[in-house]
């Protein structure tokens, strides 16, 4: 049974995570796809192609992507290379206190080139990427022409 994991599953957006896949056939060619919807419902995605090890596993921190949105060893590549499906969109978080971005990670057999997959994934999981840590308070700042936010630790 194929399984994709993200460790930790919930983390701050500026922290690294570990992405791994196990249960693949030896040297199997797969596509890993990450996608999310922003606050306006726009879809952003990244994909990378990998060949499983002789044991049938992958660790994005050790195994190079063969192509896709990036190539080479890049542990956070699926998160850093998220691109909009519609051109000229930017991935921004306006309401940092409103909750996390939910990043969906999926593993597909072979090379997935189409923007939207037609086949179900071999495995999938979800990661939470928070912009505000637990207990942090956001204080709006308005002084003259200065506008901003002050984030105070607990």
Residue 102 predicted with pLDDT over 90? yes
Q: What would the mean pLDDT of 8-33 be, rounded to a whole number?
A: 96
pLDDT at site 28: 97
Query: For the whole model, what pTM was predicted?
Result: 0.88
What is the DSSP code (8-state) at residue 121?
P
How far apart are the C-alpha atoms of 31 and 109, rounded to whole Å?
Answer: 6
pLDDT at site 97: 80
Q: What are the structural domain ranges in the chain?
A: 3-152
Ranking 41-50, 92-101, 118-127 by mean pLDDT, the lowest is: 92-101
How far apart are the C-alpha atoms of 151 and 138, rounded to whole Å?
Answer: 5
Strand intervals (E) in the chain: 3-7, 10-12, 18-22, 29-37, 43-51, 58-59, 67-68, 83-84, 101-109, 123-130, 137-143, 146-152
Say which residue the tokens 């791994």 belong to. 20
Q: What would the mean pLDDT of 89-101 be, rounded to a whole number?
A: 85
- pLDDT tens-digit profile of 35-72? 999 999 999 999 999 999 999 999 999 999 999 999 99
Q: What would the mean pLDDT of 85-98 be, rounded to a whole number?
A: 85
Q: What would the mean pLDDT of 94-112 be, rounded to a whole number?
A: 91
Confidence of residue 92 (pLDDT cuts 50, 70, 90): confident
Give the class (CATH, top level) of 3-152: mainly beta
């Amino acid at each position: 049974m194929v399984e994709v994991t993200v460790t930790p599953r919930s983390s701050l957006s500026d922290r690294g995570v570990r992405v791994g896949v196990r249960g693949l056939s030896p040297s199997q060619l797969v596509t890993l796809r990450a996608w999310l919807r922003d606050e306006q419902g726009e879809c952003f995605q990244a994909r990378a192609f990998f060949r499983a090890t002789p044991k049938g596993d992958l660790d994005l921190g050790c195994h190079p992507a063969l192509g896709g949105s990036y190539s080479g060893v890049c542990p956070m590549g699926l998160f850093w290379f998220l691109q909009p499906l519609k051109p000229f969109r930017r991935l921004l978080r306006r309401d940092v206190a409103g909750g996390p971005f939910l990043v969906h990670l999926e593993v597909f057999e072979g090379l997935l080139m189409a923007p939207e997959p037609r086949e179900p994934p071999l495995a999938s999981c979800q990661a939470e990427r928070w912009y505000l840590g637990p207990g942090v308070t956001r204080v709006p700042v308005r002084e003259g022409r200065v506008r901003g936010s002050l984030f105070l630790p607990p």
